A = this chain, B = another copy of it.
Amino acid sequence: MQHVYMFGGGKADGNARMADLLGGKGANLAEMTNLGIPVPPGFTISAKLCVDYIAERRFPDSLQREIREAIARLESLTDRQFGGTDRPLLVSVRSGAKFSMPGMMDTILNLGLNPATLAALVADSGNERFAFDSYRRFIQMYGNVVYGIKGSANGDPFEHELDRLKRERRVERDIDLAATDLRALCDAFREIVQSTTGHPFPDDPWAQLEGAIEAVFRSWNSRRAIDYRRVNRLPDDLGTAVNVMVMVFGNVSEDSGTGVAFTRNPSTGEKTLFGEFLVNAQGEDVVAGIRDPEPIAKMAEWSADGSRRFEEYCRVLESHYRDMQDVEFTIERGTLYVLQTRRGKRTAKAAVRVAVDMVREGLIDPDQALSRIDPDQLNQLLHPTLDPAAQVRVIATGLPASPGAAVGRAVFDADRAEERALAGDPVILVRRETSPDDFHGMVAARGILTARGGMTSHAAVVARGMGKCCVAGAKEIIVDEAARRFEIDGMAVNEGDWLTLDGTTGRVILGQTALVEPGLGEEFEQIMRWADERRKLRVRTNADTPHDAERARRFGAEGIGLCRTEHMFFEGDRISSMREMIVAKSVDERRRALDKLLPMQREDFIGIFTAMDGYPVTVRLLDPPLHEFLPRDAGEIASVAAAIGLDPELVLKTVETLAESNPMLGHRGCRLGISYPEITEMQARAIFEAACTVAAEGVEVYPEVMVPLVSHVEELRRQTDIVRATAEQVFRDRSRRVDYVVGTMIEVPRACITADQVATVAEFFSFGTNDLTQTTFGISRDDAGRFLPLYVETGILSDDPFQTLDQCGVGALVLMAVEKGRATNPGLKIGICGEHGGDPRSVAFCHRAGLNYVSCSPFRVPIARLAAAQAVMADRSQG
């Protein structure tokens, strides 16, 4: 059983296909070595070992021998000695899981240093300052990672000590500290470790190495790693590999440096190297955003050869991997080393452009192009940006780290961001700089603003990955996290104040700014065409107004899957007629009120049918319990009663009579239409009169009448009878027929279980998976806030079932309904109109379930189109 895999000297034990074992980083290091790219030699300890270690809390006996052999090989490749006092071999220890988890796992540099090897490093490098700086970094990182000495209420004790020293020396930057200062700092850091742990800092390099490896393995189950996996839906049982690599130093001299670059622009997708470098610095300085780097385009000015060779390696790597790469390098005394390559994270805009460009460049085919775009990420392209016409008050400008726009209230720590967002507040997370500990706050926020850090800082990388607006490194702002505010030019922005971020330009704007809809580019249209050519599912939209219907058509909707009629009753003075209808004491009174509603409802349908010319429109009959239309408190009741000329006592009595213990399970849906058939009749009349009207004007209209909340076929039969009788009457009166169908929403378990019976009457099914999820779980979505977050948090549920369809439970009912429904009605048309219709994994499920269409909110239509195409390709790759 091999646990250790070497790379270096032009060949490697592993390769890129071994990411399960070596992690993404390790596999790519091996691959690069095999490609002849200059990677510092090293070895990877397998992720399999991590899994075993977590289970058994010990290492196998053979490991120590394997590691000693690997180190010996590094010693021979570098002509250095681990723990040697002449040419000491220093190594970095980094985690590397199968999936890229930026900043999530821990890194230790300069491992192998101790007072003895430090002296040798001083001699060897001829740079005392560099050597002490390396040692103090090592102690700090080791203290952080291995002993958990980190920021707490009192701050990071190492940083605290560094700040104290800088104040004492009256310098601003680390780099301005002298070698003697750093030497003193090393002593102070060793003392911090001693006093915190009760043990001296370890000097034995082998002990250092073992401690580091264990710490990396343990970090797999750190809170932030678990959080990241949860949000990104990564499995928990993979483990992480450990990469041990010979140190090369970008901070050893002025002809040394370090940098990170994307082979294409990760914001726009433009085909040009995009990145940053720092002279005389170590790689962590770039990623952490502590120093401000130079753009990569300027690198040739500093090192023409390094720049040329780096560009060449980038070309090799991109065409080898056939994808945009994110590459790290270090130049040590003029010699270029590539330290890492990985798939570059990108914005949706970049993802679309890179995918289309690469097809045009012949690197990939359209299927691959489609599969590389995360449908959820398209949200970025589809959601509004700042209204350019809006009067805005720009208070600061930072880096346009992740495009898009966000409006929200300023919040200054991650916990609070999560808390406020849960309470329904839109949140802008403001931090001096973000760290992996802020991850849950970033997830909760609409946008992220940092005072420090560059385009590849933690905040920027993570925000782009989430498709979330981010302005990074807005240096003018002075963040006081403890006081929950930031200052700029003497003005304070406090927690709760409104901010608008423009991630596309980097502007920070005070107040709430109007947003406008996005324009979609040519590459986006190309991707959508490819998707449309492949997908089998039709994509409709949920829309209640002609405006929404038109927008959805522009996004590619092929009809309306859910037109809710109740929203129409809230508008303007319609609510008065609705209330008259509700308090009516007899069928006649009710009919009179309904007669007032009829023309309004008819007008609504005329608008919607016209907007959807040529496509079907599914109209759901009145669904909510009637009390939702009534005022609640006594004062409101009195004023409402007066306004519509009703007896307040009557209104009050009606409100009391209609109150329900569990409105979600109460007198609503088709139960209303059965109690008051005249409501169904009025709605059917409005639908068919509108259809006849627009048909007379040449509009292609195809109404689908949907009966909600059916649990028994008889309910549907009786409502269908009313709808059909009304249709026939309208057609006779208008001397015109239109094609239509009558079907039902499937939203309670019983409808699924008896779908064979229901389908004998229904011409279509539309899964209302919101309510179906509520009834299948027995969970009221309105009340779930008290326990559902905890369920997802602690892994009782892997996902919020209201966001992603619960395939195991709700999905099983969907499959049952499809099978049973088609068994008695082979021509049954089946769709879904719950919010899951716009969730990519749920769309994939709908495809596999054999549905005819999904219906989702207008903004999610393109997401559903892409997800539907990807589902077809997933079929093929499994077939």
Contacts and interface: CB of A to CB of B under 8 A. Distances in A.
Closest 10 CB pairs of A and B: A748-B778, A665-B780, A662-B780, A666-B783, A750-B809, A661-B782, A749-B749, A714-B796, A662-B662, A667-B786
Contacts of A813: 749, 753
Nearest to A816: B753
Contact of A753 (B712, B778, B779, B809): B809
Contact of A714 (B757, B779, B795): B795
A808 interface: yes
Contacts of A669: 778
A709 interface: yes
Contacts of A714: 795-797
Interface of A: 660-667, 669, 671, 674-675, 709, 711-712, 714-715, 718, 747-750, 753-754, 757, 771, 774-780, 782-783, 786-787, 790-791, 795-797, 806, 808-810, 812-813
A796 B674 CA distance: 10
Nearest to A806: B750
A665 B809 contact: no
Given A714-B795, A790-B674, A749 B776 contact: yes
A774 B775 CA distance: 9
Contact of A809 (B662, B711, B718, B790): B711
Contacts of A809: 711-712, 749-750, 753-754
Given A787-B675, A791-B674, A808-B754, A665 B662 contact: yes
Given A665-B778, A666-B786, 8 more contacts: A662-B662, A664-B665, A664-B778, A667-B783, A674-B790, A709-B778, A711-B809, A712-B809
A754 B674 CA distance: 34
A401 to B, nearest CB: 38
A422 to B, nearest CB: 14
Given A675-B787, A790-B675, A809-B750, A660 B778 contact: no
Nearest to A786: B667
Contacts of A666: 780, 783, 786
A204 to B, nearest CB: 41
B664 A787 contact: no
A777 B790 contact: no
Nearest to A774: B665
A661 B661 contact: no
A776 B796 contact: no
Nearest to A813: B753
A775 B721 CA distance: 27
Given A667-B786, A674-B790, A660 B711 contact: no
A584 to B, nearest CB: 15
Given A714-B795, A714-B797, A787-B671, A662 B782 contact: yes
A442 B750 CA distance: 33
A753 B809 CA distance: 6
